[in-house]
Structure 1
Amino acid sequence: MRERQRGTLQIVLAINAVMFFVIAGAALYGESTSLLADSLDNLGDALTYALSLYAVSRDATVKAKVALFKGLLIALASATVIAQIIYKLYVPSLPIFEVMGVFSLLGLTANGLCLFLLWRHRHEDVNMSSVWECSRNDIASNLSVFIAAGAVWLTGSGWPDMVVAIGLVLLLIRSSVRVISAAFKELRQ
């Protein structure tokens, strides 16, 4: 089981590391806060998968500590997006909806593959459960950014991008709380 987990984690780590750089570049070029949130989620996932690789062959306490750290990383990503949202309130810009749309679909494809690969591991332990949680959030993020791109196009306004970014922050915070709670529960046992 550990070898299967390790192999899956190596693949999803590579996918998320590449997607972070691709989507972060697109977010900066396209001036999209929601796409930036999506890219930071990919970075958090890549770090999470790297930590999960470390934890695969460790005992339950180490796995719980790694899951706790992952939860804190997710919280840090949400704080970064909150800072970007505040910045955009003071320095508004119109994101490029074509960039948002294309790269959200590219991210959806990559994250769909990750979710498919992680499916069989989602209930194996707290480590893999937290990895599954991160990957599931990615699908929602990608779909939300795609919808925001359409709304930016329809309205000619940057507000849909901001609204989706706020929604993604709430999703990240919820995920962070769930992962941290599960880690603390595991540590108490």
Structure 2
Amino acid sequence: MSGCGCSDIEIKDQSQRKVLYWLLGINLVMFFVEMGYGWFAQSTALIADSLDMLADATVYGIGLYVVGRAVRAKANAALISGYCEMTLGLLILVDITRRIFVGSEPVSMVIMTVGAAALIANIVCLRLIYAHKDGDVHMRASWIFSANDVIANAGVILSGALVLWLDSRWPDIVIGIVIAFVILRGAKTIVADAKNELGSEAALEKPMNCKDINLIDK
């Protein structure tokens, strides 16, 4: 035995890092764009989606940290990511409750324009992560986040159209609530997947690295 598959592992790790760097960068940029325009447009849906982008960026940062590490570390990272998303979903619901009582005047054209830009950004993210959607647990989590983001963005655009059509702030609030529950559902799926991984024998096994295998060969 000579190669021990190390080059294949390194190629996979490099591929994961490259994808996660792109996802991290895109989500950070869109967080600032959506948050800024969300406050300007007084849009619950845009602000909810921007916070989702921030949570996803955090998740991708955690994912970068565990690339190349043991399965257990990746599962723990996915678990933390899931709880982060869950917390975010609850915070969005708190903010929506505040806005229901305080009031808002969402600007429909800004909501639709920024929502469309976010949708394009997340479709790019989805294409980038597609090859890894059935891979390690932290990459599966990233796939779920990206897929949920596309759904949320479509909802944001719909809310802007309904605000314009009905001349009412309620579609924006309702879509914000829907986005929060989409986030919570995705978080629940990720937490369950991570716990499954941690409970399996594969996750508890100490991984044998290339150095260990080469020592055995000798």
Q: Which of 99, 113, 138 pairs up with 2:149?
A: 138
Rounded Cα–Cα distance in structure 1 between residues aligned with 2:100 and 2:40: 19
Rounded Cα–Cα distance in structure 2 between residues aligned with 1:93 and 1:53: 38
For the residue of structure 1 that corresponds to 2:150, the secondary structure is helix
Deviation of 1:92 after TM superposition, in Å, equals: 1.1
1:62 partner amino acid:
A
Rounded Cα–Cα distance in structure 2 between residues aligned with 1:55 and 1:97: 41
- 1:70 corresponds to 2:73: no
| Cα deviations by residue, 1:80-135 (Å, 9 ceiling, x for unpaired) | 11111110111111201111001000001111111011000111111100000000
Rounded Cα–Cα distance in structure 2 between residues aligned with 1:83 and 1:99: 23
Matches within 5 A, 1:136-175: 136-175=147-186
1:132 partner amino acid:
W
2:40 partner amino acid:
Y
Q: Structure 1 runs of 4+ off > 4 angstroms?
A: none
Q: Which of 91, 96, 100 pairs up with 1:85?
A: 96
Q: TM-score, normalised by structure 1?
A: 0.98
2:30 maps to what in 1? 19
Rounded Cα–Cα distance in structure 2 between residues aligned with 1:84 and 1:76: 13
Matches within 5 A, 1:20-59: 20-59=31-70
Residues matched between the structures, number: 189
| Cα deviations by residue, 1:128-155 (Å, 9 ceiling, x for unpaired) | 0000000001100110000000000011
Rounded Cα–Cα distance in structure 2 between residues aligned with 1:153 and 1:47: 33
Q: TM-score, normalised by structure 2?
A: 0.85
1:177 maps to what in 2? 188
Rounded Cα–Cα distance in structure 2 between residues aligned with 1:8 and 1:125: 13
RMSD: 0.7
Structure 1 unaligned residues grouped into runs of 5+: none
Deviation of 1:56 after TM superposition, in Å, equals: 1.1
Deviation of 1:55 after TM superposition, in Å, equals: 1.1
| Cα deviations by residue, 1:30-76 (Å, 9 ceiling, x for unpaired) | 10011111101100111011000011111111001100000011111
Deviation of 1:169 after TM superposition, in Å, equals: 1.1
Rounded Cα–Cα distance in structure 2 between residues aligned with 1:144 and 1:59: 37
1:11 partner amino acid:
W
1:53 partner amino acid:
L
Rounded Cα–Cα distance in structure 2 between residues aligned with 1:29 and 1:80: 20
Rounded Cα–Cα distance in structure 1 between residues aligned with 2:96 and 2:153: 18
- 1:126 corresponds to 2:143: no
